[in-house]
């Protein structure tokens, strides 16, 4: 939804909350769920949508005639899209995902080709005035990342930037990619991400020589490559979302998209309250902060439960929960970290043009605490955001 014209701001929710790896399953999610959310909100104008396309769905959509058919589905439903979640390449529901979600990483041509394919789709579907954003893996999973792997990753990213530049020249649609920092990944904190992107701005220029106008190399990189700021992931680092957003803006780094989401904060004295959230599909990294401000990390919730830091000042768990959810005894969401300064930077400051609510683990929430209706939950989440804008 275009919820503000000056500066422009589009709001959506991400379709990765709905299971669907094939194109027909994506169409079903739009016609069955997204249409119901649009009707529940009763907002005037077209309804913005954040797509999630697996590699399989993207390939199906790239077949002759399929993109025009899909565009007709969106238009017939009163919808448009301005963003694609290009993080999960393969199956994202119904199987053990865990660390597989980071594969292929940015060393691989497969990641480059998938991202460029998503960009081609988005350049056709997105309104030219809105442009298109693609969120992606923060290079890769740290445990599987060999020393020196940043150089081949930079090359793949620059090959993608060249494609995005020429795509924009031919279609008139500006598509950009946002690396999404996440716990236990190569890019985890804001400072790591800023440092890496400055390295890209320096080193990436030689990859672009002869392929883009001379002297414009760094400007083109900055135009097409930035960050996707996920507020759940920021909270897990015990970083302040408003301050981190200001850091990116001050460094001249493109905030391609903001994913508005919440993690769990657990009372360290009551480990039992978090046990129902231990499920086998997704990674649930855990971070603890002690009374001296030192951080401790666990790769997944079972590891933290086996080594529970009962004396910690704060414990946060990577489990996306609805923004409006009030929590239960011993657990609260980190949506409280999103205060007036954050929303002022988004709205008045124009820090980004694309906002996306992302609560993909809705279906894995314990039944006792999960909202009973997914459409109503999405309506309340989008309403929660709009009330703060």
What is the CB neighbour count within 10 angstroms for residue 58? 22
Question: What pLDDT is recorded for position 349?
Answer: 84
pLDDT above 90: residue 346:
no
Mean pLDDT over 59-66 rounds to: 95
Round the average pLDDT of the chain to a whole number and report it. Answer: 96
Mean pLDDT over 68-92 rounds to: 96
- 217 in helix, strand or coil? helix
Question: What pLDDT is recorded for position 291?
Answer: 87
pLDDT above 90: residue 255:
yes
Residue 229 tokens read as: 């700021």
pLDDT one-digit tens code per residue, 88-130: 999 999 899 999 999 999 999 999 999 999 999 999 999 999 9
Mean pLDDT over 182-201 rounds to: 98
Of residues 45 and 284, the one with the higher pLDDT is 284
Mean pLDDT over 221-233 rounds to: 98
pLDDT one-digit tens code per residue, 351-386: 999 999 999 999 999 998 999 999 999 999 999 999
**Helical segments of the chain, H only:** 23-29, 35-41, 55-61, 66-76, 109-125, 150-171, 190-203, 205-208, 217-224, 231-236, 241-250, 301-306, 340-347, 374-388
pLDDT above 90: residue 160:
yes
Question: What pLDDT is recorded for position 327?
Answer: 95
Say if residues 13 and 383 touch (Cβ distance below 8 Å): no
**Helical segments of 126-189, H only:** 150-171
pLDDT above 90: residue 25:
yes
- 256 in helix, strand or coil? strand
Of residues 6 and 171, the one with the higher pLDDT is 171
Q: What percent of the chain has pLDDT over 90?
A: 95
Domains of the chain, start order: 2-263+334-388 (3.20.20.150)
pLDDT above 90: residue 252:
yes
Confidence class for position 43, pLDDT limits 50, 70, 90: confident
Say if residues 171 and 183 touch (Cβ distance below 8 Å): no
Question: What pLDDT is recorded for position 348?
Answer: 78
What is the pTM assigned to this prediction?
0.97
Give the Cα-Cα-Cα angle 42, 43, 47 (nearest 5 degrees): 110
- 201 in helix, strand or coil? helix
Mean pLDDT over 245-249 rounds to: 96
Confidence class for position 44, pLDDT limits 50, 70, 90: confident
Alpha-carbon gap, residue 286 to 271, rounded angstroms:
12
pLDDT above 90: residue 225:
yes
């Amino acid at each position: 939804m275009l919820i503000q014209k000056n500066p422009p701001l589009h709001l959506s929710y991400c379709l990765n909350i709905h299971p669907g790896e094939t194109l027909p399953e994506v169409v079903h999610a739009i016609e069955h769920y997204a249409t119901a959310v649009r009707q529940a909100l009763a907002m005037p104008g077209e309804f913005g949508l954040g797509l999630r396309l697996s590699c399989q769905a993207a390939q199906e959509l790239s077949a002759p005639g399929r993109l025009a058919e899909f565009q007709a589905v969106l238009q017939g439903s009163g919808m448009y899209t301005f963003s694609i979640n290009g993080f999960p390449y393969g199956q994202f529901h119904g199987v053990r995902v865990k660390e597989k979600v980071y594969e292929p990483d940015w060393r691989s041509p497969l990641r480059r080709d998938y991202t460029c394919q998503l960009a081609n789709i988005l350049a056709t579907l997105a309104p030219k005035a809105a442009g298109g954003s693609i969120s992606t893996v923060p290079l890769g999973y740290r445990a599987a990342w060999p020393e020196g792997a940043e150089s081949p990753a930079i090359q793949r990213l620059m090959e993608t930037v060249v494609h995005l530049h020429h795509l924009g020249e031919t279609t008139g649609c500006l598509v950009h990619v946002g690396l999404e920092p996440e716990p236990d990944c190569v890019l985890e904190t804001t400072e790591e991400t800023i440092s890496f992107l400055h390295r890209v701005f320096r080193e990436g220029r030689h990859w672009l020589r002869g392929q883009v106008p001379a002297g414009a190399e760094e400007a083109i990189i900055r135009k097409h490559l930035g960050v996707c700021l996920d507020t759940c992931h920021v909270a897990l680092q015990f970083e302040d979302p408003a301050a981190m957003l200001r850091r990116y803006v001050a460094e001249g780094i493109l905030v391609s998209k903001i994913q508005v989401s919440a993690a769990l904060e657990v009372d360290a004295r009551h480990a039992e309250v978090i046990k129902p959230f231990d499920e086998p599909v997704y990674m649930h990294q855990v971070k603890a902060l002690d009374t001296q401000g030192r951080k401790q990390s666990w790769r997944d919730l079972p590891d933290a439960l086996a080594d529970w830091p009962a004396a910690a000042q704060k414990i946060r768990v990577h489990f996306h929960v609805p923004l409006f959810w009030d929590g239960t005894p011993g657990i609260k969401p980190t949506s409280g970290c999103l205060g007036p300064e954050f929303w002022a930077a988004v709205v008045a400051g124009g820090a980004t043009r694309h906002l996306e609510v992302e609560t993909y683990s809705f279906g894995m929430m314990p039944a006792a605490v999960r909202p009973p209706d997914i459409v109503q939950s999405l309506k309340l989440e989008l309403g929660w955001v709009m009330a703060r804008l």
